[in-house]
Structure 1
């Protein structure tokens, strides 16, 4: 099984964290590839930045999807996954969606631990879009500037742990979701010190992607996820044009 994880952020240090956690979560016979956005921002915090990240992810997906059995959009907030599901014939999984589904199997109410206060509005809207707003206990976040996005876990280790404990003790969370690719792997390292299950988006997405590939789903040819209709386009990459034209489908 070949899984492609796309980091819609431009930070290679974050891609390294994604790759390490994905390898730990993957089955022995699963091959992991990680690609970093060729343009965009270092880390996505806002709705507008997510639009840029979605197009970066779509660009990479159009170029590389045929060599893989599933794609993971490796950013919390899942930029572009609905559109990618229309265009691709393989499963597409997002970190948020996968983490939320895992959390719902482990408890009733969940809290999300995030890297910044600005990111909270977008995360809350993503939870609502997945129909799970009533199960969200809280979103807690770091409130200090990030010096190095690749070192968030090391620079803020104690504060992140304290946020998890506050979500349990003060907000009544049954499950903690550690949000965002820069925090990939943190759940694994702190779970023994948190009194409820702790969910990681990258490992959840890898496991869910593997399950979907194993189920061998039929690609949508009707319904709301049917391929986009053929129409003239301009200024797109050759790979994107082929994908939109349907000539690159399996």
Structure 2
């Protein structure tokens, strides 16, 4: 099984965190490849940045999807996830969706721990889009400037754990979701210090992707995830134009 994880952020250091956690989570024999967005921002915080990240993810997916069995959009908020599901004939999984599904199988109400206050609105909308807003206990976040996106876990270790404990004690969370690729692997390192299950987006997405590949679903040809209709286009990369043309579909 070959999994492609696409980091829609431009930070190679974040891709390194994603890859390390993905390899820990992958089953024996599963091959993991991580690609970093060639354009965009260092880390996505806003809806507009997510829009750019979605285009970057679509570009990489169009170029490399044929070589893989499933794709993971490796940014919390899942930029471009639904569109990629329309266009591709392999499973596409997002960090947020995967973490939410894992959390819902571990408890009734979950809290999300994030790296910035600005990101909270977008995360809440993503939870709502997944139909799970009534199970969201809270979103808690760091409130200090980030010195380096690659060292958030080390720079704010105590604060991140305090946020997790507050979500449990003050907000009634049954499960904690550690949000965002820059925090990949943190759930594994702190899980013994938090009194409820702690969920990581990368490891959840890898495991859900492996399950979907094993289930061998038939690609949608009808319904809302049917492939986009063929129509004139311009200014797209060769790979994106080819994907839109649907030449891979029977």
TM beyond 0.5: yes
Where structure 2 has 5 or more consecutive residues not aligned to the other structure, the ranges are none
Q: 1:19 and 2:19 equivalent?
A: yes
Partner of 2:236, secondary structure, is coil
Work out the number of aligned pairs and report it: 250
Q: Secondary structure at the match of 1:78?
A: coil
Q: How much does 1:7 deviate?
A: 0.1
Task: Describe the SS at the equivalent of 1:16.
Answer: helix
- For residues 43-192 of structure 1, what are the structure 2 equivalents within 5 Å? 43-192=43-192
Q: Which runs of 4+ in 1 moved over 6 A?
A: none
Q: Is the 8 A contact 1:88 1:249 kept in 2?
A: no
User: Following the alignment from structure 1 to structure 2, what is the Cα–Cα distance between the partners of residues 170 and 16?
Assistant: 34
Using the TM superposition, give the Cα deviation of residue 240 of structure 1 relative to its aligned residue in structure 2, in angstroms.
Answer: 0.5
Q: Distance in 2 between matches of 1:51 and 1:108?
A: 31
CA distance in structure 1 between the partners assigned to 2:239 and 2:56 by the alignment? 13
Q: Within 5 Å, which residues of 2 pair with 1:216-231?
A: 216-231=216-231
Structure 1 residue 247 displacement after superposition? 1.1
**Secondary structure of 2:21's partner?**
helix
Match of 1:240 in 2: 240
Report the CA distance between 1:15 and its aligned residue. Answer: 0.1
How far apart in 2 are the matches of 1:8 and 1:248?
24
Offset, 1:248 = 3.3
Q: Deviations over 1:107-140 (max 9, x none)?
A: 0000000000000000000000000000000000
Match of 1:33 in 2: 33
Q: What's the secondary structure of 1:33's corresponding residue?
A: strand
Deviation at 1:249, TM superposition (A): 4.1
Which sections of structure 1, spanning at least 5 residues, go unmatched?
none
Residue by residue over 1:1-56, the C-alpha shift from the partner in whole angstroms, topping out at 9 and shown as x without a partner, is 00000000000000000000000000011000000000000000000000000000
